[in-house]
Amino acid sequence: MTYRTQQAVQSLFELVEEEPINELLHLTSYMNMGWPDYEIKRCVALFRTLLSTPNSSIENLVEQGFPHTWTQEVLALLNLSLPPEHSEPTCHTTNDNLSIAMLFLSQQGYVIKRINKHTGRIWVRKHDRQFQFELKHLKYKKQNMCILLGLS
C-alpha cells in the first residue's frame, strides 16, 4: 500500500474536484506509482460521491458498495471526518483503531507514508523527519482502547 500515501490521495481528490468529467482525468501518473486500476476507479467513485453529497455517513457509503475499512482509511488520509452521530467505532468493523490513529496523526500534521495492518505499524513524516508508530490494543473494564506508541 506504499502507493496510497496521504499526498497521493489528496492530490487525486483535488484532481477529481477540479475535473467534473471522469474521461478527462489524467491518471497515468497514479498508475505509474503502482495504484491498481480498480482502486483508482473506486477512489474516483468515492470522491465523486463525497463531492456530490458532502454530509454522507460511513454507513451510506458502505450501502453504496464501498468497503468499510478501505473507506475509513481513505477518509483518514483526506483528513475528512464523519458527522458526529456516526463517528463512534462499532464492534462490527475491523481496523477501526487503525483508522482513528491515521486520522489523529494526519490532524497533527504527519504525512502517512506506509501502513502495516498486520503489525499495526504506521510510518509517517513530519518536517523532513521520519517517525514510526505502533498501535496497541487493550481491553480495560469491557472497553476497547488503543495506544499509539512512538518507536522512532
pLDDT, one tens digit per residue, over 58-87 is 888 888 888 888 888 888 888 776 554 444
Give domain limits for the chain: 6-107
The dihedral over CA atoms of 83, 45, 23, 79, expressed in degrees to the nearest 10, equals 40
Question: Rounded mean pLDDT of 103-110?
Answer: 84
Mean pLDDT (the chain) is 80
Sheet containing 121-126: give its strands across: 111-116, 121-126, 129-140, 143-150
- pLDDT for 89 equals 46
Please give the model's pTM, rounded to 2 decimal places. Answer: 0.57
